[in-house]
Structure 1
Amino acid sequence: MDLERVGFAGLGSMGEPMARNLVRAGIPVLRWNRTPGKGDQVADVADLFARCDVVILMLKDADAVDAVLGRGGPEFAGRVAGRTIVHMGTTAPGHSRALEADLVAAGAKYVEAPVSGSRVPAEAGELVAMLAGDPAVVEEVRELFGPMCRETVYCGPVPNGLLMKLAVNVHLTAVVTSLAETVHFARAHGLDLGLLADVLGAGQLASPILRVKAPKLVEEDFAPQASIANVLANVELIAAAAGEAGLELPLISASRALYAETARLGLGEEDMVAVIRALDSRPHPED
């Protein structure tokens, strides 16, 4: 693989540090962002595809992915033919399955590679990538994940990477929401929140996510690592995939309602731990 011809589309909260880690590893990367002025290096997306054999997409949603690829338009085939598209964002599994079919029909290769982690592990190059697709194609680009990820796990055919990501997020959502509720409870009873964080971190509940999110809750630091809006979008994808499988996920249903409530308070761009502010805003039973 010619590592001098790697494109990266999407320089958001996670994409920007991911692209930077590739550059730091000595991989010349052409960067482009849908919103100009965020470190983009090419004039437009057509130029990015024209100059790169491999294009990594770290985009907001399925609509953004389709727009960048020109999917459904006359430019799609010419833009993607002969290229390998690496989709690292999170979209519905069904979207990814259909996207793979369209790309292969247009003469392109496709790797599904969603990641587990937020901005902090993205900055540290400690994401976990869940890879799916043709094993030979995955191997062709696997070395690109080293600078961005602590681990890469091959999950099988598309869309198993995205299904694995959604499964991971079932657990992640419940854990962080529970932590916010824990702090909400402890604060109402006048407990020292710093001591609470110490006790949680000293026992079997200690984890990297606790080390990151507990201080944010204690300090009421809602600067986004993974925003309420982003988490809500992921929870909607989980709920849809659960429905397709005929499953009920009570914790996800409750979390879905809580994150939606938080977003309605105008907190969509704050960190996911801001769900505590929705809890705080609710009237007390005795009120």
Structure 2
Amino acid sequence: MVVGFVGLGVMGRPMALNLLRSGTGLVVWNRSPAAAEELGRAGARVAADVSEVFAAADVVLLMLASEEVIHDVLGRGTSRFDAMVANRTLVHMGTTSPEFSVRLSRDVARAGGRYAEAPVSGSRPVAEAAQLVVMLAGDEGVRAAVSPVLQPLGRAVVETGGVGSALLTKLAVNLFLITQVTGLVEAFHFAAEHGLDLETFRRVVEEGPMVSTVARAKLAKLLDGDYEVQAGAADVLMNAELIVAAGRRAGLATPVADVCRDLFAEAVADGWGDLDMAVVLEAVRERSRVRRVGAAVRA
């Protein structure tokens, strides 16, 4: 089977490389050509455009940045879209609202194609190590056909049910991730501002019940002042906004997610969006600075 892969960004690039390493025949396309050329050197066929990917592959994986990008790249609502997806299986692997995925699945079905959504849990290093958790939703027959294609990407492919359920699961998992990392960042800031030895703080965290792979990775970044991107702050903000919006639609309170969303919005507004989510520390620092200035003025 030849598999298509569209979208070779922070996550898509290592995912596509792992498919190649597993022996999957791959045809790729990316909006910026440099990443596609790298995959070409690794053995993938580089398509001239998206239509060529669909013409060459029975299953096409999309790892695109947003709903708007997916709409533009696929040309939804045009005859080009209908011609591309007819008799093909389209697998949406990015993070969007579940409602967008449901609408996209209907468009694909009307054009005579098949559809699955398969968002992933994990950051760039996790993708590089082929340790992602893939959440797979769609009709039962489509899930059965797509699951083996996705196996080389991670430690598990977890089927969640019908279209929309995988993205809701992803948002629930990301709510936990975002609030966990933001809490760790605030704890790190609290320890630093009280003059504690930060290596001692790290040791206590890593020896205690709160330790996790994520905590270890982000603590290392915080201690080193290293904001090289693993999960970008702008992407985290997008996820937080999707989480809050999904909660509002369901009539749910998301008080912790609301605060995290606001902090990441501040970090992105201050120009930190292209850096790792650990950079939300800068938003916490700025809030502390504003509080101290306000206290000094009141005094």
- Which TM bucket (shorter chain)? over 0.9
TM-superposed deviation, 1:74 = 2.1
SS at match of 1:146: helix
Counterpart for residue 21 of structure 1: 18
Residue in structure 1 matching 2:86, options 68, 81, 94: 81
Counterpart for residue 40 of structure 2: none
The one-letter amino acid of 1:173's match is: I
SS at match of 1:278: helix
What is the rounded CA distance, in whole Å, between the counterparts of 1:191 and 1:261 in structure 2? 27
Residue in structure 1 matching 2:60, options 52, 55, 61: 55
TM-superposed deviation, 1:281 = 2.2
Deviations 1:143-197 (A, max 9, x none): 1222111111111101000000000011111000001001000000111212211
What is the rounded CA distance, in whole Å, between the counterparts of 1:176 and 1:218 in structure 2? 14
TM-superposed deviation, 1:81 = 0.3
1:113-192 → structure 2 map (5 Å cutoff)? 113-192=118-197
Q: Name the % identity.
A: 46
The one-letter amino acid of 1:38's match is: A
What is the rounded CA distance, in whole Å, between the counterparts of 2:165 and 2:237 in structure 1? 21
TM-superposed deviation, 1:69 = 1.8
TM-superposed deviation, 1:248 = 1.2
SS at match of 2:33: coil
The one-letter amino acid of 2:62's match is: L
Q: Contact between 1:69 and 1:80, CA under 8 Å: does it hold in 2?
A: no
What is the rounded CA distance, in whole Å, between the counterparts of 1:136 and 1:212 in structure 2? 38
TM-superposed deviation, 1:70 = 1.6
The one-letter amino acid of 2:9's match is: G
Counterpart for residue 228 of structure 1: 233
- Which structure carries more helix by proportion? 2
SS at match of 1:38: helix
What is the rounded CA distance, in whole Å, between the counterparts of 1:146 and 1:138 in structure 2? 12
- The answer as to 2:31 corresponding to 1:34 is yes
- Which sections of structure 2, spanning at least 5 residues, go unmatched? 38-45
What is the rounded CA distance, in whole Å, between the counterparts of 1:198 and 1:138 in structure 2? 43
TM-score normalised to structure 1 length: 0.97
Residue in structure 1 matching 2:116, options 104, 111, 115: 111
TM-superposed deviation, 1:275 = 0.6
The one-letter amino acid of 1:211's match is: R
SS at match of 2:36: coil
TM-superposed deviation, 1:68 = 2.1
Counterpart for residue 94 of structure 1: 99
What is the rounded CA distance, in whole Å, between the counterparts of 1:146 and 1:93 in structure 2? 23
TM-score normalised to structure 2 length: 0.93
What is the rounded CA distance, in whole Å, between the counterparts of 2:116 and 2:198 in structure 1? 44
What is the rounded CA distance, in whole Å, between the counterparts of 1:194 and 1:32 in structure 2? 44
Write out the 4+ residue segments of structure 1 that deviate beyond 2 Å after TM superposition.
284-287
